[in-house]
Amino acid sequence: MSVHMPFGLKIAIVNRAFRKKMDDKAASMGLTSVQLRVLGSVSRLEEKGEGEIHQNDLERIEHVTHPAMTKLIQKLESKGFIKCVPSEIDRRYKRIICTEKSAGIHKVILKHDTEVLSDLSKGLTDEQKIILTQSIDVVLRNIDSDKNL
C-alpha cells in the first residue's frame, strides 16, 4: 500500500478494517459493531455510577444524531440488551439501562478492541503503539474543542 496516499484515505481504510473486525466479533453476539459500541457506553456509564443515562448522553458520547441514536436504541431494546424506562428525575426522558444479558459488556468490548488493535498494529513496537494512541487522543481533543466553538 502506498505511503503517498492522502491522510484522509488512510484513516478511512483503517476505520473500515477496524470496524470489519469489530463487526465480526459483534456478529457472534447478534449485534453490529455500532450497536455493540453504544451498548458498551451504557454498560460503562452504569459501572461508573451514572445516576441516569439518557439518549442525549449517548448521542454526545458516540457523536451521532438524534434519529440515528433512536434507531440504535430501539434495535438494542428489541434484541433484549437494554430497557428504556421513565426517568425518575424528569418524566420527559427515558432512562436507558442494561439488561442482565448485557450488564458489564463493556469489559468484553474492551477485550475485543484490544485484540483488534493488536492485530492491526502488528509490527509496531510498544513505544510506537503508545505514541499512536497518544496522537489519536490529541486529535480527538481537537475535534471536541472544535465543536465547542
**Single-letter amino acid, residue 104:** G
Looking at the domain assignment, is residue 2 inside a domain?
A: no
Looking at the domain assignment, is residue 112 inside a domain?
A: yes
The residue segments making up the domain with residue 132 are 7-147
Looking at the domain assignment, is residue 17 inside a domain?
A: yes
Residue 96 C-beta-side C-alpha neighbours within 13 Å: 27
The count of structural domains within the chain is 1
Looking at the domain assignment, is residue 1 inside a domain?
A: no
pTM to 2 decimals?
Answer: 0.73
Looking at the domain assignment, is residue 37 inside a domain?
A: yes
Sign of CA dihedral 4, 20, 101, 77: positive
* pLDDT tens for each residue of 75-123: 999 999 999 999 988 888 899 999 999 988 999 999 999 999 999 999 9
In the prediction, which pLDDT does 92 show?
Answer: 85
Predicted confidence (pLDDT) at residue 147 exceeds the cutoff of 80? no
CATH number, domain containing residue 76: 1.10.10.10
Task: Tell how far CA 134 is from the center of its chain.
Answer: 18
Looking at the domain assignment, is residue 21 inside a domain?
A: yes
Looking at the domain assignment, is residue 48 inside a domain?
A: yes
- d(Cα 37, Cα 22) in Å, to the nearest integer? 9
